Structure 1
Amino acid sequence: MPEDRPQRITQHERDQTVRRLQEAYASGELSHDELDDRLQQALTATTSSELAPILASLPEIAPDRTVRISAKAGRIQRRGTWQVPKTFEIESEFGKVDLDLSRAIIEHPAIQLELKLRFGKARITVPRNAVVELDDLRCEWKQPVDRPPVDRPTNGVRIRISGEMEFGRLVVRYARH
């Protein structure tokens, strides 16, 4: 009789697991420490049975799901390699928002960022070739700062930033590379 050995995982399965963990972190379902722990487990797993518990507590997601993050105070921050949803809603009462999209995984040709910023500051770093649209952003106090480099290509992702900022401030920065 042949032995029933556990099936070794493929690189594709490992990549899918890592991507799902990054999505969960981006949507606030995992803390930074939980993400680190689970990524370590995913990267060292050798069988499918080792991957299953890593994702078991996470809800299934639709590919075009809207991710919402809100905070009364403190910092909302996403940096490094993380999965950017098609629609991202961020609400901050008194805090700071820091989104770095320069190394993020962006699978859509256009993404929507809706900001609701009462007080505080939002800084969004975008890829150098991104096209940022601010037409639907209402500002009551200060106008957003968006100074794209003159020599940049404009063939990248289209980022539509909408919403409202009462006494907050938005600064859009472009990555150097």
Structure 2
Amino acid sequence: MTSQPSESSPRPTSTGGLRASHDDREAVVEQLRDAAAEGRIDLDELDSRLEQALNSKTHDELAALTADLPRPESAVDLPPLELNGGVHGASRGPERWEVPGHVIARGGLGGVKIDFSRAECRLREVVVEAYGDAAGVTIVIPDGWVAETGGMNPGLGGLKDKTTPDRLPGTPLIRLTGSGGMAGVVVRHPNRWERRKLQG
């Protein structure tokens, strides 16, 4: 005889009914500000919707605030970018490249460098899955971009986050996952030499 679930058992819920996170609310806030800058909503309506967004508890409540606005362009359909350091190393950037929603970097024996300085990113959030392995992974993000490193396992090599926490409106969040491995993972803003090359 099969037992019936008790009334206290959790019931399946739709995605829209899930509780919203701080990042979910912030993404909607940025979309509303962009819409106001484009003249799609006036300032009074912006203030009203911003207040509702900050007080929203679920995805459904947030979705209602942007239902009449164009969806932001995204690169979610791009396949994940995989960089394997192997023996000789691998890199992406600083030349222009389009950022997918998921980047995987394995340092191997040669190391990997990912430079977002000139990248075209139309996403609110990018997951960078980094494994330092024996030679390490270096990630360079522009000023104004922010890295979230709470999902990283530092491993033996550790994680060095040299970025600033001041995020500019409309910039993506780089969410780091993975492991530092033997050589570690570094995330930073461009150094003096890299800045000089960008200006040249």
Provide the aligned length of Structure 1 versus Structure 2.
116
TM-score by length of 1: 0.58
Match of 1:111 in 2: 126
Distance 2:76 2:102 in 1: 12
- CA deviation after TM superposition for structure 1 residue 121, in Å: 2.2
From 170, 173, 177, the counterpart of 1:162: 177
Question: Do 2:149 and 2:176's aligned partners in 1 also have CA atoms closer than 8 Å?
Answer: yes
- CA deviation after TM superposition for structure 1 residue 66, in Å: 1.8
Q: Deviations over 1:46-105 (max 9, x none)?
A: xxxxxxxxxxxxxxx972422223242221111111111110112232121111101111
TM-score by length of 2: 0.52
Match of 2:155 in 1: 140
Gaps of 5+ in 2: 1-74
- Give the AA of the match of 2:159: P
Question: Do 1:73 and 1:92's aligned partners in 2 also have CA atoms closer than 8 Å?
Answer: no
Gaps of 5+ in 1: 1-60
Task: State, as a whole percentage, how many aligned pairs show the same letter.
Answer: 20
- Give the AA of the match of 2:97: W
Match of 1:91 in 2: 106
Match of 2:71 in 1: none
Question: Do 2:158 and 2:184's aligned partners in 1 also have CA atoms closer than 8 Å?
Answer: yes
Distance 2:119 2:135 in 1: 24
- Give the AA of the match of 1:157: P
Distance 1:109 1:98 in 2: 22
RMSD (CA atoms): 2.4
- Give the AA of the match of 1:68: E
